Amino acid sequence: MTSIGIIGECMIELSRADVSGADASEHNELLYQKRYGGDTYNTAYYLAQCAKSKIDVNYVTALGDDAISDDMIATFSAAGVNTDLIEKIPGAVPGLYAIQTDEHGERSFLYWRSEAPARQLFQTPQSEALKSELLKKDWLYFSGITLAILHPKGRETFFEFCQTFRAQGGKIAFDINYRPRLWASEDEARSIIDKAYTICDLALPSYDDETLLFKTSSPQNAIDRITKLGAKEIVLKNGAEEVYVHSHGQTEKHAIVPATDVKDTTSAGDSFNAGYLYARLSDHDISTAVKAGSNLAKQVIAQTGAIVPVTPPTF
């Protein structure tokens, strides 16, 4: 069975609860509902929903020893995500974010994550044991958010481990997922993200992120830039526009059928990545993988929330 370690941070999500009638009149206060979310966990969740035990999906993070952390782990496990490599740090508590929605339905986020335990990955006493277990995996997957939250020492250790992992035959998938507020500067973000591209077998960037950080002038310009850094297979997502895929020295454009029912674009890219990975890790070709990713993302954005029920792609 193919195995993959997906590395990053999952947080507590608070969003406004839909309260009406008597409850709304009786409570002159904001009511929130609690969920769990984060870019890499979203991908782990959707990959597990597709794979249905055909792929060993491991989520790699650090949480606390509190009741909510325990509930998060139980939730991951119930979704089919392997939790054996989640480290529990005594006294720590998970990061948290709140979703705000304006009158036009646009979402914005407030974060409380500066002391989140995931920031300590690859620099705790358990790091050597974690790396030993990860070396047994076929693939690693992480994002620009993963790199942004790691402390510099842990990030350096992680990059060194990735070199070892690839030298022993492992493969790496990476999505830029650039979030400006997580980085000290654009220069820091560019340097670290480009370093990730140099150790990447499968790059899954979005054109919006590439344009925002690297000021690329066209999808082909973004493909050319990443290719020069060494990524082997590049899948450039561009919203409802065609997907550019570069592999074996050739770039192809794959048309997708735009979604007609869009309620919430949260997790669109994360779920596309899961569908694409599912197809490629199941030995299907690139065209099939693009369709799998696109179809999965369309299911997700037709519903509200980052984690929603989906029907796996069929081949």
247-260 pLDDT per residue, tens:
999 999 999 888 88
- The CA distance from 237 to 293, in Å, is 10
Q: Which fold, 2-9+38-94+114-301?
A: UDP-N-acetylmuramoyl-L-alanine:D-glutamate ligase (3.40.1190)
> Average pLDDT of 132-155?
97
For every residue of 253-297, DSSP letters joined together read EE--PPPS--S--TTHHHHHHHHHHHHHHTT--HHHHHHHHHHHH
Q: What is the predicted pLDDT for the residue at 105?
A: 46
Active-site residue numbers?
A: 270
- The CA distance from 253 to 244, in Å, is 5
> Average pLDDT of 179-197?
97
15-70 pLDDT per residue, tens:
776 655 555 555 556 677 888 999 999 999 999 999 998 999 999 999 999 999 99
User: Is residue 195 classed as helix, strand or coil in its secondary structure?
Assistant: helix
- Mean pLDDT across the chain: 92
Domain assignments of the chain as residue spans, ordered by start? 2-9+38-94+114-301
Per-residue tokens: 239? 């919203």
Q: What is the predicted pLDDT for the residue at 27?
A: 52
Sign of the torsion formed by the C-alpha atoms of 74, 123, 167 and 275: positive
- The CA distance from 84 to 58, in Å, is 7
